[in-house]
Amino acid sequence: MRILLLAGLVGCTTKGISDSSDTGVAQDSDDTSSDVDVDDDPVDDSGDDPGDDSGTGPDADEDADDPGDIDCEEDVEVELEATCVSGSLECGDSLISTTIGGLSESTGLEYGSWFCEVVGSDSYAGPERVYRFDHPGTGNATIELESPCGELDIFAAFWSDDTCPTAAHSVGECEGDVGAGNGSITIWNSSPRSYLVYVDGPDGAEANFGLSATCE
């Protein structure tokens, strides 16, 4: 009787060990998404990666208004604010505009009489664009013209009235750049003063352009 009882106990113990070993050898055999082989790569292909080319990352073009991106064929809409003035130009500004559709009130006769530059009285018969610039009076202020679409020149006349001057007016101060290509003028002042900045085409040229102002 004692021998039979021991044999039965040994058989039960052996069976229990065998069952437990059979349940623990296939832990990685399933194909569920909880396996450790699931792709946890943080850089996916969905387009949200910071270096992707989807147009939403830091590589997206943020310089649409930069004058360096002037489209010569673009129809630029400009509205007159008052009389001949199309808007304001302030320190740090960069804008894209056009002489197409501008007024034709100033010619070489005006620029010559204001002593901006030595120009012919029959030049600049085409439309011009005018912007008011308020000099802060902190030293040099540089106004740059970018004109890749046509030959344009730049003038800046000291003038604070709401109406634009004619050849009969004395503006007191005027600067101009009539060289080929882009233009640049620098105005020095130790006190605030208002100027009218003219962009005009010699021989009636009309084109899109960029205008910017930097101040000390």
> Using one digit for the tens of pLDDT, what is the confidence trace for 92-104?
999 999 999 898 8
Residues 201-205: what's their mean pLDDT?
A: 86
SS3 214: strand
Q: Residue 175 pLDDT > 90, yes or no? A: yes
Long-range contacts from 48-53, C-beta under 8 angstroms, 24+ separation: none
Q: Where are the beta strands (DSSP E) in the chain?
A: 85-89, 94-98, 128-135, 139-146, 153-158, 174-177, 183-189, 193-200, 208-215
Residue 59's H or E segment, with its range, is: none
pLDDT one-digit tens code per residue, 30-88: 444 444 444 444 444 444 444 444 444 334 334 434 555 888 978 888 877 667 899 99
Instruction: Report residue 163's pLDDT band, with 50, 70 and 90 as the boundaries.
Output: confident
**Gap between the Cα atoms of 202 and 194, Å rounded:** 25
149: domain CATH number is 2.60.120.380
Closest CA to 125 of 149, 105, 145: 105
Q: 180 in a domain, yes or no? A: yes
Q: 79 in a domain, yes or no? A: no
Residue 20's H or E segment, with its range, is: helix 2-22
Tokens 């308020």 correspond to 134
Q: 4 in a domain, yes or no? A: no
- Burial per residue of 163-172, b for 16 or more beta-carbon CB atoms within 10 angstroms, e otherwise: ebbeeeeebe
Tokens 């673009």 correspond to 74
**Gap between the Cα atoms of 150 and 202, Å rounded:** 10
Query: Which residue segment(s) compose the domain that 146 sits in?
Result: 84-215
- How many domains are there within the chain? 1
Q: 63 in a domain, yes or no? A: no
First-last CA distance in the chain: 112
Q: Percentages helix, strand, coil for the chain, rounded to the nearest 5?
A: 15, 30, 55
Instruction: Report residue 122's pLDDT band, with 50, 70 and 90 as the boundaries.
Output: confident
Q: 22 in a domain, yes or no? A: no
Q: 128 in a domain, yes or no? A: yes
Residues 156-173: what's their mean pLDDT?
A: 91
Q: 166 in a domain, yes or no? A: yes
Cβ-proximal residues to 206 (8 Å cutoff; 6+ apart), any chain: 98, 99, 100, 102, 126, 127, 150
Q: 45 in a domain, yes or no? A: no
Q: pTM for the full model?
A: 0.67
